[in-house]
Structure formats: structure tokens, C-alpha cells
Amino acid sequence: MTRMTQKRSPDDWIDGLLDDIARTPVDQPSTDLMARILADALAEQPAPGGVASSRGWRKGLWALGGWASLSGLVAATVVGFAVGLGGVLDAGLLAIDASWTESSYYQDALNANGWYLEDG
Amino acid sequence: MTRMPLDCELDGTDEADLLARYARGDAAAARALTVQLAPRAHAQAMRMLGDRAEAEDITQEAMMRLWRVAPDWRAGEAKVSTWLYRVVANLCTDRLRRRKGRGVALDDVAEPPDPSPGAEARLLTTARRTAVAQALANLPERQRLAVMLRHFEGASNPEIADRLDISVEAVESLTARGKRALAAALRGQKAALGYETG
């Protein structure tokens, strides 16, 4: 139990409480957790050379030629519909959101994690 | 079990460099990042949640987010460890808010009797962690991070300022306001947490 021997402010005990928590030893992560994390890392890791992520449709998109091909694919999709040839295109391509970019993925990830600090 | 020696060849390499290597497909970088970052994330989650199973979930989830953002990481815009620290803090905060929403109170934690030596101290530790974590979860993010970095990570005010990209004066203000808010939130539990009143 922590005893406050020198009282400077009624709220000084908070410093003691926080420091007591910090000093309390924390268990190391289990070897099983470390193995799961490493397995995740390897499963998510792009192929050597940094060509692709293993994530679902992104992988498919890269296989189709990468981001440079996206605008062409979208344009082709629109034109294909316009002339009644939409069925020729792979249905999977139609799911691609043309507004999505590498940059927006990065921003989404950061925003989702509260990267931008709220006021306080 | 995959062996991850602490003295792996990339130990000490800058985290941003490791992340770039990881994104290029370097398996050794994946191992080095896991060894360097996962224990810190786990310790942070343990301090915030006080529950091993939940801390492991949060650690794995936070690391997964790191793996997924790696190919798009822009070097120089953020420090990897700070980014991860914030991810863990936010995931833990979400978890704590859900706990609160489910009505899990301090009195509900760690009740089963434990006759082993040190059981009382462990209960007190758990109670302190839980109470502080719940109070931290209610702080604005910058106050929460400033307090945690100062007290849990032992970071100096200039270090915190650098990591959060704010001024030292702002750090001082955030830390002071955060601790005042914690004191106000926890005042009624002071004696229960092992701090004498008065």
C-alpha cells in the first residue's frame, strides 16, 4: 500500500497511483501470442519485391495491372455498360470503388485508428 | 513454435526501415518488428485493461493493423512505435467503453477468492489498473496519451511533444488537465485503491 508522506496537493496521490501501476511488473506476451502475430505478419506480407499485398481484391487488382490500370478499367466498365457489353466484363471488377486509392486506404487506416487527435 | 531470438540480425534497426523491409517481403523484418513491438503493445494493453486475454486480443489486432498499413506507410510522417501506441490506446479505450456499456464495474472484477500468497496485492493491482483504465478511457485522446506516455512509458515532456507533434507547453497543459480529471473521477475510490484519505 502506498502511503503519501508529504502532501502537496489533494490530488498528488494520482501521481502515486499512476507510478504504482507503471512499476507493477507486466507479464511478457506468451510464446503462442508471438507466434500468432508472426503468422499474421507473414500471411499479410507482400511478396518479395514489394509487388503486392495478399489482401483479397487488392491482390486481384494488382494482378490485373496495378493502380495505373484502374482508371482504364473503370472507363471500360462504363463504356461497356453504355453499349450493352457490361456482361463481358468480369463481375468482380464492377465492385471496385473508383474513388479508392492507396492514399485513401492509408488515411482510412489512420482515421480508423483515431490518428487525428481530438481536442483536449 | 517459431523461434524468435531477441538478438536477431535486425535488432536495433530503425522501425521505419524495418517496416519498409517488411513491405518489400523481408521475412526477417517481420520477425524483428514482432520482437520489438509486440511486447511493448502487450504491456501497454495489460496496463490499460488488466486482463491477459483481452490484452492479447488487442495486441494481435494492433499488430495486424500495422502489417496491413505497411505497404502504404509513408516514412517520415509518423513514428511507427507512436502510431502503434495510439492504435493500442484507442483499441483499449473502445474495449473499456464497451465494458462500461455492459455495466462491468470495478466491484465486479477479480472477485473469486484466491488463497494464494500475494492474492490480496494482485487484487489491489487489478483494481487499480481497472479504475485508472476506465478513467483514462473517458479523457480526451491527447490528455490520455500525454498522461500514459509520461507515467507508463516514463517519457519526458520534450519526448512526448516530439511523439505527439505538439509543443512542450501543450504537453504540460494536457498532462496537468488529464491528471486533474483523473483525480476528480477517482476521488471516491481513493481508499478502496489503497491510498489513505486526507
- In chain A, the residue whose alpha carbon lies closest to the alpha carbon of B122 is A24
pLDDT digits (tens, 9 = 90+) for B24-68: 999 999 999 999 999 999 999 998 888 899 999 999 999 999 999
Distance separating alpha carbons of residues B69 and A110, to the nearest angstrom: 9
Q: What is the pTM of this model?
A: 0.68
Using DSSP, state whether A2 is helix, strand or coil: coil
pLDDT range class, residue B197, cuts 50, 70, 90: low
CA B11 to chain centre: 22
The shortest CB-CB distance from B125 to any of A24, A105, A120 is to A24
- In chain A, the residue whose alpha carbon lies closest to the alpha carbon of B44 is A26
pLDDT digits (tens, 9 = 90+) for B139-149: 999 999 999 99
CA B157 to chain centre: 18
Whether pLDDT at B96 is above 90: no
Give the number of other Cβ atoms within 10 Å of residue A69's Cβ.
13
According to DSSP, residue B32 is labeled H
pLDDT range class, residue A64, cuts 50, 70, 90: very low
According to DSSP, residue A28 is labeled P
Give A60's contacts (C-beta < 8 A, 6+ positions apart).
A92
Round the average pLDDT of chain B to a whole number and report it: 85
According to DSSP, residue B122 is labeled H
Task: Assess B12–A contact: CB distance below 8 Å, yes or no.
Answer: no
| Cβ contact B183–A13 (<8 Å) | yes
Distance separating alpha carbons of residues B141 and B159, to the nearest angstrom: 17
